[in-house]
Structure 1
Amino acid sequence: MPFLSTTSRDIPLQPDRAALLFVDVQNFCLHPEGGEMRDADAETREGKLRPFIDRVHAEVIPRMVDLRTAARAAGMEVIYTMIESLTRDGRDRSLDYKITGFNVPRGSFDAQMVKALEPGPDEIVIPKTSSSVFVSTNIDYVLRNLGVAQLVVAGVVTDQCVESAIRDACDLGYLVTQATDACATYTEARHEGSLAAIRGYCRQRTVAELLASDLAGHGVS
């Protein structure tokens, strides 16, 4: 395929070789009764987490839904990854997650995607126990089996798990597009700082730009 030997990141999506990856759009960090809210002190809950959750649900998730609608219509694979241990007690978690205190038990409410982005019946869901989905899962193997060479990445939080996934995907030879306004973190300054830092690893487009170009004709009416 032409884009496999390219020297540019600015290559339009080829839907049959592309996948849309959602990172951590789950109850643990995005539900008012999720694990992060439950475990936080009152100041963190009200000053940091609740405004973030409210903003993501009001502004970011609707764009994610529009992007997914267009990706599905174009015939792209849609893949979801979320923080979820393989065990109830989280003994399989990364050392970093153990130190941080993250444990999302297998099959728990916290491990579920937010309701607006529940996976379709035949869409791929990959649990992870590290910041980068490429470190603690077989996603690279799965993507290559699917024939995927281009990734569109969206999710939370921009400067942690999203950025980690983009860097690793780039290093593994994928052409990555970051859907910039379908990503979010706790402050606008952190979000913009991450976008600037990751710019050399991916093509960056807003959802509106993708719907008007690569996915034209497949978006919501």
Structure 2
Amino acid sequence: MPSEKMPPAAAGLRRDVPVEPAATALLLVDVQNLEIGDAIRRAHPAFVADLEARVVPNIARLVAAARATGIEVVYTVIESLTLDGRDRSLDHKLSGILVPKGAWEGRVIDAVAPAPNDVVLPKTSSGVFNSTSIDYVLRNLGVRHLIVVGLLTDQCVDMAVRDAADRGYYPVCVADCCSSYSTERHDGALRAFGGYCRTVTLEEILAEIAGAA
């Protein structure tokens, strides 16, 4: 029997399309106080230390470059629409994940805090495309390229990348602007969803943004 082969990519289409600032958004996934709170500090001290010393400063550099070139900066955070969390997804209820409306844990980490005119979308599921209006918002903003950074690489970042690809965006994951509770989890996730996006370093995407500008 002939061996099965994947069909070739459609003529003229490729994944490594350079970003266009006017059609690009930077999405910060769950870069929020929840991940630097006392419970996470006790359970994953190395993760928090690296987050504060390396990952968040990296994200801050990328946010600054995005703002300087007119790239939209969009945030999503885990936060309920209610104080008691009754609107949470079944998974969040089963997992015991509750960030009440307005809680400190739901705020973006100060070093990368939203500007007054930025979009911030609270969510109560792993997938921002599943429990927010992000797809509607991005299309209204004219976005085609979505740069994804944040936490956790193997959970909510993974979902954002895959769902963005399925909805027709060009996702770009910036590897050193993401993190998880272990290096193994982080690296494994990058390998697992690598087929859905371009995976780049901070320096590579900064150079690409500068070149496009």
Where do 5+ consecutive residues of structure 1 fail to align? 38-44
Identity of aligned residues (%): 49
Kept in 2, the 8 Å contact 1:177–1:202? The answer is: yes
Partner of 1:12: 18
Report how far residue 6 of structure 1 moved. 5.1
Kept in 2, the 8 Å contact 1:93–1:129? The answer is: yes
Q: Which residue of 51, 60, 76 maps to 1:56?
A: 51
Report the TM-score when normalising by structure 2.
0.91
- Partner of 1:214, secondary structure, is helix
Partner of 1:132: 127
When the two chains are superposed, the root-mean-square deviation of aligned CA atoms in Å is 1.5
Q: Which residue of 210, 214, 218 maps to 2:205?
A: 210
Q: Does 1:71 align with 2:77?
A: no
Q: Which residue of 103, 108, 116 maps to 2:111?
A: 116
CA distance in 1, matches of 2:145, 2:36: 27
Q: Does 1:98 align with 2:93?
A: yes
CA distance in 2, matches of 1:215, 1:100: 42
| Aligned counterparts, 1:162-201, within 5 A | 162-201=157-196
CA distance in 1, matches of 2:58, 2:87: 34
Report the TM-score when normalising by structure 1.
0.88
| Cα pair distance change 1:6/1:165, threshold 3 Å | farther
Kept in 2, the 8 Å contact 1:177–1:204? The answer is: yes
Kept in 2, the 8 Å contact 1:210–1:216? The answer is: no
| AA of the residue aligned to 2:163 | D
CA deviations on 1:136-189 (whole Å, 9 max, x unpaired) are 000000000111011000000000000001100100000000011000001111
| Cα pair distance change 1:119/1:188, threshold 3 Å | same
CA distance in 2, matches of 1:145, 1:77: 12
Where do 5+ consecutive residues of structure 2 fail to align? 1-10
